[in-house]
Amino acid sequence: MTSNTLTSRVENDRVLVLERDFDAPRELVFTMFKDSEYLKQWWGPRGWELPVCNVDFRPGGVWHYCMKCADRGQGEYFGMESWGKGVYKEIIEPEKIIYVDSFSDPEGNTNEDMPSTTNTLEFIDLGGRTKLINRAEYDSAESLKTVTDMGVIQGITETWNRLEEALQKLK
């Protein structure tokens, strides 16, 4: 059996590669990324909710969302909102999703002061299990360092742990 832990590595100073195996079929794991009702169940670090999640799942479509900290135990982060906007570039169901993820405001305007990420998600069928590989490409090593310093690896680890929990409830 393969590990359920997240592995990460950096390639070419500006690509963060994250990998994890999930104990669920590929089609189900893929579906969790395309439907707003599923995304609301697991997207974001522990203690954060997705009160806004609008998904237009097609090439050229937009995913606009708000993560909000609902955990009083997170101190200064409680009540904080973080808005994001994804623009889908390519979708090959159930194998691949490519989208550009940016920080945004509640109206969906991109925050040009923060790095954007081109994410390539690959869903690899392991016969009832799924390996998810996320290649997050940044325009520079400095941009990658900015998001790494913000805690992106911990955030994705918690987010993918929540995804595994949501998958187990559906199985």
Q: 68 by DSSP, 3-state: which? A: strand
User: Which residue's structure tokens are 């590595």?
Assistant: 9
Percent of the chain whose pLDDT exceeds 70: 98
Residue 80: per-residue pLDDT: 95
Residue 29 phi, psi dihedral angles, 5° rounding: -60, -45
pLDDT digits (tens, 9 = 90+) for 114-134: 999 999 999 999 999 999 999
pLDDT digits (tens, 9 = 90+) for 77-88: 999 999 999 999
Residue ranges per domain, the chain? 7-170
Buried b (16+ CB within 10 A) or exposed e, 96-119: ebbbebbbbeeeeeeeeeebbbbb
Beta bridge partners of 72: none
CATH topology of domain 7-170: Alpha-D-Glucose-1,6-Bisphosphate; Chain A, domain 4 (3.30.530)
**Nearest Cα residue to 34 out of 152, 121, 137:** 121
Segment (H or E) for 86: strand 81-92
Q: 33 by DSSP, 3-state: which? A: coil
Residue 1: per-residue pLDDT: 40
Other Cβ atoms less than 10 A from the Cβ of 166: the count is 18
Q: What is the 3-state secondary structure (H, E, C) of 36-60?
A: HHHHHHHCCCCCEEEEEEEECCCCC
Q: 69 by DSSP, 3-state: which? A: strand
- Tell me: pLDDT of 146 over 70: yes
pLDDT digits (tens, 9 = 90+) for 11-29: 999 999 999 999 999 999 9
pLDDT digits (tens, 9 = 90+) for 88-104: 999 999 999 999 999 99
